[in-house]
Chain A
Amino acid sequence: MEHYKSVHPLKYYQDYLAHDIRPDGRGLNKFRNVAINVDSISSANGSTIVRIGNTCVVCGIKGELGPPKAEEPQNGFLIINVDLPPLCSSQFRPGPPSEKAQALTAYINNIAQRSNIIDLKNLCIEADKLVWTVYCDIVCLNYDGSVVDACLASLIGSILSVTLPKVHYNAETSVISVDEDIPIPLTVLCKPIATSFAIFNDDIILADPCGEEESLSNGTVTVIIANDELHSIHKPGGNTLSEQQIQKCTSEAKERTILIYKLIQAAMKQR
């Protein structure tokens, strides 16, 4: 059986899929188990570890004080970086960020910006003088498919858990005093959660694909839901899908988002 898998990986998968089951025992539209742990890194202002099956992602948030941009004196910064180190999969090599990591970073930054996860104005301490820069570093520890889902869930978990110290800015003397005793949580406006699907052949859609399924598939679809509304669909090429198939992905994603919300909330209580 192992030989068959290594010689004809695609056929091996198709034989399983023909019987509506996947090699790891899941049904076609079954998701893997998700585990979320909030505030596991004590040195960060906020952090979350998300596991989806074997995929494991850590997000840490750190706040830094600095001057704002002259064009937007009222706005702080939310800077998200996704790192796919060689540690997480053999497909990544050491050196500058891979194209995949850059594209993923760009995508998540776009989501954060366009879905208004937090209001950047809330990060302002003194207009034109001092604002918070919130650095969100997402590191993938194990790359086994649906990494966007894990990245976004860890980002939302961290942003919900983050607290920044109270800062006083004296406009006359330009003296900054930080009061660590008063932790202030961020106001989160929107909590987008991603759900990925893989397309096999023309008409088989696998929910929450693992790494192997992703590499053998003919394309992926990522649906991002927040507050029960669609916030993004990302299907970069691959096999074509019908309107109905995308609709189905969206409704499945909506159900899953509720589950992820519950998990994040439970994790927040436990910390």
Chain B
Amino acid sequence: MEVDADAEEILNADSLKCELNTLSRADGSSVLCQNKTVMAAAVYGPVEVKHHKMLIDKAYIEVIYKPKCGISQIGDRLFESIIGSICETAILSSFYPRTAIYLIIQELQDCGATLACSINSTCLALIHAGVAMNFLFAAVTCEIHSDQNQLSQFQQENRKSEITFVFENTSDRILAVDSYGEISEVEYKDCLKKCRNSSKVIFKFYQDMISKYATKM
């Protein structure tokens, strides 16, 4: 995978740090540090499902997002619904009918781009759990500042808008996108290009993580 110089602007390989198997009881777990934002994710599944939630043709997928303090609020519900529908597309849920897959994401440190970091930590936890997937996914957040400067992760006062893209590793198509604030067409295209290049850094990182523990098997 080739990585453009552009990608470095938002995310470079050094800004990603991850540990797998952090929780002994979970089927898959990860702690991902993306720049300075840190998220922990755990996957339980496929496990027994409550009768009223059972789906006969596929797995029931539930996402729980826990903020670092306080009880979860409506903003967290939005995160849960986005991550949930990404996972429903990525996981081969028809492999596990009449079961449930629970994804729990715990925010550990918020320095911006929490959505991207939680999506990526979820993906790593799913890989670690050995859940069958159609493809891997990687999220990148891009912030547009009033002075045209673009940066990911660092929440700053003068940001005009932010956009999060989620890509998959089998094609160039867009799996999910979530944006707020005014974005011109030129800015949008620029962000898309930079985020796509950065997503390749993340996919490379996933592959490295897999090889790291797979070669020990």
Contact = CB atoms under 8 A, between A and B. Distances in A.
Interface of A: 99-100, 102-103, 105-107, 109-111, 113-115, 218-219, 226, 229-243, 246
Interface of B: 73-75, 77-78, 80-82, 84-90, 161, 163, 166, 168, 171-185, 188, 192
B162 to A, nearest CB: 8
A54 to B, nearest CB: 24
Contacts of A239: 89
A231 B177 contact: no
B77 A99 contact: yes
10 contacts: A100-B81, A102-B78, A106-B73, A226-B182, A229-B184, A232-B181, A235-B174, A235-B177, A240-B174, A243-B192
A107 B81 CA distance: 11
A135 to B, nearest CB: 15
Contacts of B89: 218-219, 237-240
A235 B174 CA distance: 9
Nearest to B166: A237
Contacts of A100: 81
B174 A241 contact: yes
Contacts of B77: 99, 102-103, 106
Contacts of A241: 173-174
A237 B88 contact: yes
Contacts of A102: 74, 77-78
B75 A115 contact: no
A233 B165 CA distance: 10
A142 to B, nearest CB: 22
Given A103-B74, A103-B80, A242-B174, A232 B179 contact: yes
A240 B192 contact: no
Contact of A233 (B73, B171, B172, B177): B177
Contacts of B73: 106
Contacts, number: 102
Given A99-B81, A219-B85, A237-B82, A114 B174 contact: no
Nearest to A230: B183
Contacts of A240: 89, 168, 171, 173-175
A69 to B, nearest CB: 16
A232 B162 CA distance: 9
Contact of B181 (A106, A107, A231, A237): A231
Nearest to B88: A237
A111 to B, nearest CB: 7
Contact of A232 (B171, B172, B180): B180
A238 B137 CA distance: 12
Contact of A237 (B85, B161, B172, B192): B85
Nearest to B185: A230
Which of A230, A240, A241, A243 has the most chain B CB atoms inside 10 A of its CB?
A: A240
Contacts of A110: 75, 78, 180
**Could you say which of A239, A242, A243 has the most chain B C-beta atoms within 10 Å of its C-beta?**
A243
Nearest to A113: B180
Contacts of A106: 73-75, 77-78
Contacts of B192: 243
A236 B81 contact: yes
A218 B85 CA distance: 10
Contacts of B82: 236-237
A99 B176 contact: no
A136 B161 CA distance: 24
The 7 closest A-B pairs by CB, nearest first: A237-B85, A240-B173, A237-B86, A114-B180, A102-B77, A106-B78, A106-B74
A99 B192 CA distance: 30
A47 B184 CA distance: 31
